[in-house]
């Protein structure tokens, strides 16, 4: 595994309709790489064990950021207050999951390496508020949408714990459990776009083969041959294009198993083109530049596509030819 910073978190939560607060320094906050890997692919839900209310919705924020005398922070990546506000506090590894027993799609071992930690700031015995419950579902869906995973990749700490944890608590003192199967059902409906009155984004998930980026060549499109999901039929099969005319979008392109000379760099951009007439290049956000590593890279974008335009990810190499082992793309978009 590797240590991969999850700096897309706040934007993905906003895209799912969450009320987000970014804690200062969160993009560079995390446990040191010396404490373990961090390449998450799912969500683990917890509760703080603190009594909360409308007038005191998030009393545990500082503790989750800075930790306790017996456990250094951060203690999660996202803290969800009783008022439904999602406080994004860390993009790196956090002390939240401990040892994992391999429940569901997880594997036995280090939970902190595998899963994004969500703390619900409430006692565990009081009912979650409607705002808090909605935010927990939206936030989990946002992360799973980003990873291209289904609802089974959201687990409760009581499901993965090897030490008898009961997170994320109960649905009120008279109810024996915060039912994770029920929560996963809500997440499944949200991922599918059902059960909501507000507009839902559409979702696309693609995969593609490897290829070589030659130094000195112009920008090359990243092509995709496999459609894992394409709810809005925006991807002409076998091509790089996303036909997102008039849409706002949040996307991630994954370039896996990279290799090249020691000084090689890979530039990545999301380019917009006309989809009618001459199909000319229009514009692109400033490209990101990455050091070539075997772990690969994930490039993120938040942008809007003009009317009668389409978008594709493109790459260019510096310092030598770069071999890409495989590709993937996930995006949510709103018409």
Give tens-digit pLDDT for 46-60.
999 999 999 999 999
pLDDT for position 196: 42
The 10 Å Cβ neighbour count of residue 98 is 16
Q: Are 19 and 84 in contact (CB under 8 A)?
A: yes
pLDDT for position 194: 42
pLDDT for position 197: 45
Q: Are 43 and 144 in contact (CB under 8 A)?
A: yes
Verify cis geometry, omega within 30 degrees of 0, for the bond prior to 168.
Answer: yes
pLDDT for position 250: 80
pLDDT along the chain (335 residues), means of 10: 90 89 95 96 96 95 97 98 96 97 96 98 88 92 91 95 90 58 86 56 87 96 91 87 88 91 94 84 88 85 85 96 94 81
In terms of phi and psi (left: phi > 0; alpha: psi -120 to 50; beta: otherwise), the region of 296 is: left
In terms of phi and psi (left: phi > 0; alpha: psi -120 to 50; beta: otherwise), the region of 187 is: alpha
Q: Are 160 and 112 in contact (CB under 8 A)?
A: no
- List pLDDT tens digits, range 83-130: 999 999 999 999 999 999 999 999 999 999 999 999 999 998 888 888
All domains in the chain, ordered by first residue:
9-192 (3.40.80.10), 202-334 (2.60.120.40)
Q: Are 212 and 255 in contact (CB under 8 A)?
A: no
pLDDT for position 193: 66
Closest by CA position to 185, among listed 137, 135, 142: 137
């Amino acid at each position: 595994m590797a240590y991969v910073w999850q700096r897309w978190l706040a934007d993905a939560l906003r895209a799912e309709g969450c009320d987000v607060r970014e804690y200062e320094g969160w993009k560079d906050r995390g446990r040191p790489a010396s404490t373990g890997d961090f390449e998450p692919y799912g969500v683990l839900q917890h509760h703080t064990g603190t009594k909360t209310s409308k007038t005191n919705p998030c009393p545990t924020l500082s503790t989750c950021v800075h930790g306790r005398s017996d456990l250094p922070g951060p203690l999660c990546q996202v803290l969800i207050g009783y008022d439904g506000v999602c406080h994004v506090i860390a993009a790196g590894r956090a002390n939240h999951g401990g040892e994992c027993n391999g429940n569901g799609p997880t594997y036995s071992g280090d939970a902190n390496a595998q899963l994004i930690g969500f703390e619900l700031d409430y006692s565990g015995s009081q009912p979650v508020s409607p705002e808090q419950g909605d935010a927990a579902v939206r936030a989990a869906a946002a992360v799973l949408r980003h990873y291209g995973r289904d609802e089974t990749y959201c687990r409760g700490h009581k499901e993965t714990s090897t030490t008898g944890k009961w997170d994320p608590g109960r649905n009120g003192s008279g109810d024996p459990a915060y039912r994770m199967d029920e929560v996963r059902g809500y997440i499944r409906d949200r991922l599918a776009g059902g059960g909501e009155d507000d507009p839902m984004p559409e979702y696309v998930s693609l995969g593609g083969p490897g290829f070589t980026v030659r130094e000195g060549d112009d920008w090359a499109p990243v092509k995709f041959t496999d459609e894992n999901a394409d709810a809005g039929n925006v991807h002409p099969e076998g091509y790089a294009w996303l036909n997102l005319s008039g849409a706002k979008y949040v996307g991630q392109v994954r370039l896996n198993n990279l290799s090249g000379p020691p000084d090689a760099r890979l530039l990545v951009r999301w380019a917009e083109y006309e989809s009618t007439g001459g199909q000319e290049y229009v514009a692109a956000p400033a490209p990101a530049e990455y050091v070539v590593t075997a772990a690969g890279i994930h490039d993120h974008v938040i942008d809007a596509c003009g009317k009668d335009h389409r978008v594709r990810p493109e790459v260019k190499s510096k310092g030598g030819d770069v071999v890409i082992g495989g590709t993937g793309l996930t995006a949510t978009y709103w018409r």
